[in-house]
C-alpha cells in the first residue's frame, strides 16, 4: 500500500482520525466507511487512487477507531456526522472534492452532496441507495412492517442490548458480519438476538487476510460497538433535522455500485427504482458475484469503475 499518514484533527467538538495518502497537490478524494468497518476497508482503493494522482482522505468515522466516541445517542445524528467531514474539509482547505461512501458512509456522502453542492463535485456511493427524504421517519415504517418478526435495525434501537451481544467477542462478531450467511435476512421472532443460533465461519473470507482482520478488530477494541450502533438510533432525529432538504435533488455526476448478492438490494428495492428521480445524473452498476462488502470482495472491478468514472471530463 502507498505510504499513509495518520492525523488527528480537533473538529466539530471531537477528535477525528484521518488517514491520508497521495501527492499534496492531487485532487482530494474522501473515502467514508460504513458499519461495522474501518478506514482500512478502503485498502484496495487507496493505492489505486494514489497511482492516478489523487490525494486520499480516509477518516475513522465518529465512534470508530482512534476517533472520539461520545456517549450521547444524539451526538451521532446525520447532520452531526456530516459536520465532522465538513469541518475536516475546512481545516484542509478543500474547495472541490470527490466524495465516496459505503454503507453508512454512503448515507453521509449522499447528504454531503446535498449540503455542499459546490464543494462536492462528484459522488460515488456503494450499497445504500438514496431517493430523497422520506415522508415520515423510516423507523416508524420498520416498526409497522416488522411488528411480529426480527429486524436487525429494530434490534439495534434499545441502548445497551445489541452492544452487549456484539462486544462479547468482537472477533467472532466481525467474522459473522463478514461471512456469507445472511445475518440481515434471518426469519425469526422479533424477540430474538442477532447472532443467536449462528455459527461463526471457520476461516476468514478470501478478501480479508489475518493482518487485515486485525485492523478491523482494533477499530472496535477501545470503545466497542456502542458508538457505531448509535448511528442507527437517530432515524427519527435525522428525519426531523433534515426537513430543509426535502425535495432537493443530488445534482452532481454520481456513480452508484451495489453487489448482486447484497441484502440491501432486497430491503431497498423501492428506493433503487426511485433513485433516478432524485439523482438525475446517475450511473448505476451492479457488481456480480458480490455481497455487501463490495470494495473488498470485488476490489479490482470497483477500482475499474471508480477510476473510469472519475476520469471523465
Residues with catalytic roles = 103, 292
Look at residue 162 and give its three-state secondary structure. helix
Q: Report which secondary-structure segment, H or E, holds 129.
A: none
Cα–Cα distance, 147 to 141 (Å, whole number): 10
Pairing of strands 28-32, 97-102: parallel
Task: Locate 240 and state its grid cell.
Answer: 426531523
Using alpha carbons, list the distances in angstroms from residue 303 to 53, 202, 239, 287, 295: 14, 29, 33, 11, 8
Cα–Cα distance, 68 to 84 (Å, whole number): 11
Give the CA dihedral 217, 223, 224, 229, nearest 10 degrees. Answer: -120
Look at residue 97 and give its three-state secondary structure. strand
Helix 170-178, helix 210-221: angle, nearest 10? 120
Pairing of strands 97-102, 120-126: parallel
Task: Locate 233 and state its grid cell.
Answer: 438510533
Cα–Cα distance, 257 to 247 (Å, whole number): 23
Length of the chain: 313
Amino acid at each position: 500500500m502507498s505510504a499513509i499518514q495518520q492525523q488527528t484533527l480537533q473538529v466539530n467538538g471531537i477528535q477525528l482520525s484521518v488517514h491520508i495518502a497521495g501527492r499534496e497537490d492531487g485532487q482530494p478524494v474522501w473515502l467514508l466507511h460504513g458499519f461495522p468497518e474501518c478506514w482500512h476497508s478502503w485498502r484496495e482503493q487507496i493505492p489505486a487512487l494514489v497511482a492516478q494522482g489523487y490525494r486520499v482522505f480516509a477518516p475513522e468515522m465518529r465512534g470508530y477507531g482512534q476517533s472520539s466516541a461520545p456517549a450521547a445517542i444524539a451526538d451521532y445524528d446525520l447532520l452531526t456526522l456530516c459536520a465532522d467531514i465538513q469541518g475536516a474539509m475546512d481545516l484542509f482547505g478543500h474547495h472541490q472534492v470527490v466524495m465516496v461512501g459505503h454503507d453508512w458512509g454512503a448515507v453521509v456522502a449522499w447528504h454531503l452532496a446535498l449540503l455542499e453542492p459546490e464543494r462536492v463535485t462528484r459522488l460515488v456511493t456503494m450499497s445504500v441507495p438514496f431517493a430523497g427524504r422520506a415522508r415520515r421517519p423510516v423507523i416508524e415504517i420498520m416498526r409497522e412492517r416488522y411488528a411480529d418478526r426480527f429486524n436487525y435495525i429494530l434490534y439495534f434501537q434499545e441502548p445497551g442490548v445489541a452492544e452487549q451481544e456484539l462486544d462479547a467477542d468482537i472477533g467472532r462478531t466481525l467474522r459473522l458480519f463478514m461471512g456469507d450467511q445472511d445475518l440481515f435476512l434471518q426469519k425469526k421472532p422479533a424477540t430474538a438476538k442477532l447472532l443467536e443460533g449462528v455459527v461463526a465461519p471457520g476461516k476468514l473470507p478470501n478478501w480479508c487476510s489475518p493482518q487485515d482482520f486485525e485492523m478491523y478488530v482494533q477499530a472496535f477494541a477501545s470503545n466497542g460497538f456502542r458508538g457505531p450502533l448509535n448511528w442507527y438510533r437517530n432515524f427519527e432525529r435525522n428525519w426531523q433535522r433534515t426537513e430543509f432538504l426535502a425535495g432537493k435533488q443530488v445534482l452532481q455526476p454520481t456513480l452508484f455500485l451495489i453487489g448482486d448478492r447484497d441484502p440491501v438490494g432486497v430491503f431497498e428495492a423501492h428506493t433503487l427504482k426511485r433513485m433516478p428521480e432524485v439523482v438525475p445524473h446517475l450511473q448505476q452498476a451492479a457488481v456480480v458475484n458480490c455481497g455487501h462488502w463490495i470494495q473488498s470482495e470485488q476490489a479490482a472491478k470497483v477500482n475499474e469503475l471508480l477510476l473510469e468514472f472519475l476520469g471523465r471530463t
